[in-house]
Amino acid sequence: MMTKVSKRISIFDIFPEDSRTQDENPSSTGEEASVEVNTVQSVDEAAIIISTVTDLQNQNVLGSETLCSSEEKSSLCSLHRVSRILVHISIILSIVAASLSVLLILQYFYYPVIQRACPDYLEACVPLLNCSHADGANLCPPSRQPSNRTLASEYRNPVLLVTGDSLLQVYGANTGTYYTVCHQGWKTYHGWMVCRELGFNSHTVLSSPLPLSATEPACLESFAVMNKTSESPSNLDGFLHPVENCPNDLGVSLQCTDCGRSSAESQRIVGGSPSTWGRWPWQVSLRWDGRHVCGGSIISSQWVMSAAHCFVLSNFLTVARWKVHAGSASLNPSISHSVRSIYYNGLYNPETSDYDVALLKTSQPMGFSETLRPVCLPRTRQQFLTRGNCWISGWGHVNEGGQLSPVLREAKVHLISNHLCNQSSYYEGLISARMLCAGYLDGKVDSCQGDSGGPLVCQDGGLWWQVGIVSWGEGCGRPNRPGVYTNLSTLLDWVYHRLQTDSEIP
């Protein structure tokens, strides 16, 4: 893999080459004539300009010698020498000024400011990084100052969607409490406001009453209704009115996107099989200079999720060289989308692969269809069964050390507990809380090179939820070495915070 090399451009390359007449020697052989022609063509135009000036100077020198031969005219001779020096200086300064002007023009048109991927923290932001904002904006939003304090002590997501039922909770900043929102008084525009707080601006906002009788006890401690108000609160907290209990024991189930729906029900994938078109409509191919490098998943009309190591390990940080290919199960040319910004978690550790998550924002919204739509992000405290309906997909190597698959492949896998995966027979303590294992302990079915950044999804309640991101593993499909994935549930705050703080909400 190569890094970008700037092309050197002569200041004369922007002008059409002058037509030149060349003398031909009739007695020369064809080979000799060829040499002469090549010699003439290789003459630098700058040398031609300099020689012309030199000829004029020689003429002036001859004239000045005649003029200065008379002692009576010595003063005039001195004046002439001074004027000649001044003319030479002015010519040199003019050439330098013209050259600088042309170089500045070339730099503006041929070498624009390169946008680079940003390491993005929740709190510990770095203001001076040259990152991927199209308008050159500072990495740290104006409302946040650089800080070394931890995420847990400072940041509170303003909105939580809890469990697979997507129960809505809103954070009250004045009380430091998450309130379960009651369905009484709930209006459609409240749903739009909440989804915008999460970083989404979808036309599809689905809400419905949800019985609280079967909800986790942790969700039944504080309640609030969303009141109408003649004022315009700056945030959702201004709409909250705490109550003892929800009338009719009903909360709000909220969905901000029409996500997780596959149009076809039924492998870096080892031991899998070819997928059908539309089965995984959120799956994308991320391509660097036209070559497939990693997978990814669509989470909204302008946001794609992938792994941080796809950009950091090979120094693939130049945003303009990435394209998102979506809506096809083939690696052949498909609909591509330019990338506007890339953010990877600033706590990502290349040595341990911890915090291996990244987000890409496309330049324009992607139009959804039966073969292109978002996957659902997991909910807070949502549980997935170890032997549930979970799948991995990608165009990666079909075996260790093999080649990319020309078609999207899929494989069913089992989730493996961190306790088991961290045992000495497996990864011996290398699995952090931001990771999870999936596959089979006897190997054979696994993700592989080229699948990185792709989704691990599980079905729950008729929808597909992204549980993990293909991250790392020892080999592909080896016994006692299952695939290791980023545990997305533990990094939801970072994902939502990135969506919320972007200058243009999708």
Place of tokens 């451009």: 9
Judge contact between 306 and 322, C-beta under 8 A. no
SS3 assignment, position 62: helix
> Cβ of 54: how many Cβ atoms within 10 Å?
10
SS3 assignment, position 393: strand
Of the candidates 291, 284, 259, the residue with the CA atom closest to the CA atom of residue 408: 284
Query: Of residues 120, 165, 356, 502, which has the active-site annotation?
Result: 356
452 catalytic residue (yes or no): yes
Separation between Cα atoms, residue 190 and residue 170, nearest integer Å: 11
Separation between Cα atoms, residue 20 and residue 39, nearest integer Å: 13
Separation between Cα atoms, residue 6 and residue 166, nearest integer Å: 50
Of the candidates 288, 297, 302, the residue with the CA atom closest to the CA atom of residue 361: 302
SS3 assignment, position 209: strand
Name residue 255's beta-bridge partners: 206
DSSP structure string for 430-490:
---TTEEEEE-TT-SSEE-TT-TT-EEEEEETTEEEEEEEEEE-SSSS-TT--EEEEEGGG
Separation between Cα atoms, residue 232 and residue 221, nearest integer Å: 28
Q: Quick one: angle between helices 492-501 and 188-198, nearest 10?
A: 100
363 catalytic residue (yes or no): no
Query: Of residues 133, 190, 309, 397, which has the active-site annotation?
Result: 309
Q: What are phi and psi of 467, to 5 degrees?
A: -95, -35
Provide the CB-side half-sphere exposure for 230 (13 A, CA).
0
Judge contact between 337 and 364, C-beta under 8 A. yes
Separation between Cα atoms, residue 218 and residue 221, nearest integer Å: 6
165 catalytic residue (yes or no): no
Separation between Cα atoms, residue 182 and residue 251, nearest integer Å: 4
Catalytic residues: 309, 356, 452
